[in-house]
C-alpha cells in the first residue's frame, strides 16, 4: 500500500458514518497495511504524516485496553518487516510521554538506527542558508530525496526541504578546538528564505551551512554515500574558524524536472489525518 492509500482510508472514514465496531474492524484489517507502508517509506514528510495517522488509531494505554494496544503494535511492527520491531513495540507499549511529537521523533530515530535507508536524523547547532537565518529546529534529516528540517515561520511550524538534485558539492571543515564540524552544501539553485521577497542579493552564495558533532561525521558521510552523494563530497578538508553567523534556508527554481525550490508544508496538513478517528479506541 502506497502512502496515498492512507489518504484514501482517511477520506473513507470521513465520508462514512461508521459504528465503533466497524471502525475498529477496519483499523485491525489495515494495521498490517500501515506497517507495510511504513516499512517501505523512506520519505521523512510521508513518514511523519503516516505516524500521525497511526497515532490516531492506536489504542490508548488506559486500563483494559493495554492488551489491545500491544496486539495492534505487534500487527503493525511485524518483525518480518522491521528489524527493530521489539524496540518499537517497547517504546509504544508503555510510552514515557504522552507527547506524540516526542514519540514520533523517537520512532524515526529507532528506524534510522536499524536501516540506513530510513531518514537519518542529525542534531545541528545552527543552520544558515545563504545570508538568511530562519528559526530552525535542532535536527536535520537525510531522507531519500534531500535535506529536511522543521522551521518556525511566524509562529507556524513548517517543513523546509532541499532536494538532493540541487546539491553540487559537500564540504566538511573541522573547527579548531571544537567538538563540531562545519558542513557546507553548495547548491545549483539560488537559496532564499522568503519566497515573496521583493529583492535579492545577487552576490550571496547558493549554499546551506550547518554544524554537526564530530562524532556524527562518519554516520553523516555513510548516509550521503547510501544516497549516492559520495561523488559530491569534497575530498579535501581544512581547518575552519567558527561560523561567522548562525544559519538560513530556501530556494528558487532553476528549471530542473525535480522540484528545486523549497517545499513548504503546513503541519496542519498532517494533523488532518486523525480528525475522524482520534478518539474511537477510548469508547
pLDDT by residue for the chain (283 residues), tens only, comes to 444 545 554 554 455 444 555 555 666 667 888 899 999 999 999 999 999 988 888 888 776 667 888 888 999 999 999 999 999 999 998 887 888 989 999 999 999 999 999 999 999 988 887 777 777 788 999 999 999 988 877 777 777 888 999 999 999 998 877 899 999 999 998 765 555 443 455 555 688 999 999 999 999 999 999 999 999 998 755 444 444 443 333 333 343 333 333 334 344 444 443 433 344 444 4
Ramachandran area for residue 130 (φ above 0: left; ψ -120 to 50: alpha; else beta): left
157, 278 contact by CB (below 8 A): no
CA–CA separation, 36 vs 23, rounded Å? Answer: 20
Domain spanning 119-235, CATH architecture: Roll (2.30)
42-61 pLDDT per residue, tens: 999 999 999 998 888 888 87
Q: Which ranges in the chain are annotated with CATH 2.30.29.30?
A: 119-235
DSSP lists the bridge partners of residue 172 as 183
For the entire predicted model, the pTM comes to: 0.72
232-258 pLDDT per residue, tens: 998 755 444 444 443 333 333 343 333
Total residues found in the chain within this entry:
283
The C-alpha angle 28, 33, 35, rounded to 5 degrees, equals: 100
Burial of 48 (0-12, 13-18, 19+ CB in 10 A): buried
Amino acid at each position: 500500500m502506497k502512502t496515498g492509500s492512507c489518504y484514501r482510508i482517511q477520506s473513507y472514514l470521513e465520508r462514512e458514518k461508521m459504528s465503533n465496531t466497524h471502525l475498529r474492524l477496519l483499523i485491525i484489517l489495515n494495521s498490517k497495511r500501515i506497517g507495510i507502508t511504513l516499512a517501505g517509506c523512506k520519505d521523512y514528510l510521508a513518514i511523519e504524516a503516516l505516524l500521525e495517522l497511526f497515532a490516531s488509531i492506536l489504542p490508548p494505554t488506559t486500563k483494559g485496553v493495554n492488551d489491545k494496544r500491544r496486539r495492534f503494535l505487534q500487527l503493525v511492527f511485524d518483525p518480518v518487516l522491521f528489524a527493530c520491531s521489539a524496540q518499537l513495540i517497547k517504546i509504544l507499549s508503555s510510552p514515557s510521554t504522552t507527547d506524540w511529537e516526542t514519540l514520533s521523533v523517537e520512532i524515526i530515530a529507532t528506524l534510522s538506527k536499524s536501516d540506513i535507508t530510513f531518514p537519518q536524523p542529525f542534531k545541528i547547532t545552527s543552520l544558515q542558508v545563504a545570508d538568511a537565518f530562519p528559526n530552525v529546529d535542532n535536527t536535520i534529516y537525510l531522507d531519500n530525496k534531500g535535506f529536511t528540517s522543521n522551521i518556525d515561520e511566524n509562529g507556524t511550524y513548517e517543513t523546509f526541504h532541499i532536494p538532493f538534485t540541487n546539491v553540487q558539492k559537500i564540504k566538511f571543515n573541522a573547527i579548531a578546538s571544537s567538538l563540531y564540524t562545519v558542513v557546507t552544501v553548495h547548491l545549483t539553485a539560488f537559496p532564499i528564505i522568503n519566497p515573496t521577497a521583493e529583492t535579492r542579493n545577487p552576490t550571496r552564495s547558493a549554499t546551506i551551512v550547518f554544524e554537526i558533532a564530530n562524532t556524527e561525521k562518519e554516520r553523516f558521510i555513510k548516509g550521503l554515500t547510501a544516497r549516492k552523494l559520495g561523488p559530491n563530497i569534497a575530498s579535501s578538508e581544512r581547518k575552519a574558524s567558527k561560523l561567522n553567523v548562525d544559519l538560513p534556508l530556501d530556494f528558487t527554481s532553476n528549471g530542473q524536472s525535480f522540484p528545486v525550490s523549497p517545499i513548504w508544508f503546513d503541519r496542519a496538513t498532517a494533523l488532518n489525518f486523525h480528525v475522524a478517528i482520534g478518539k474511537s479506541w477510548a469508547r
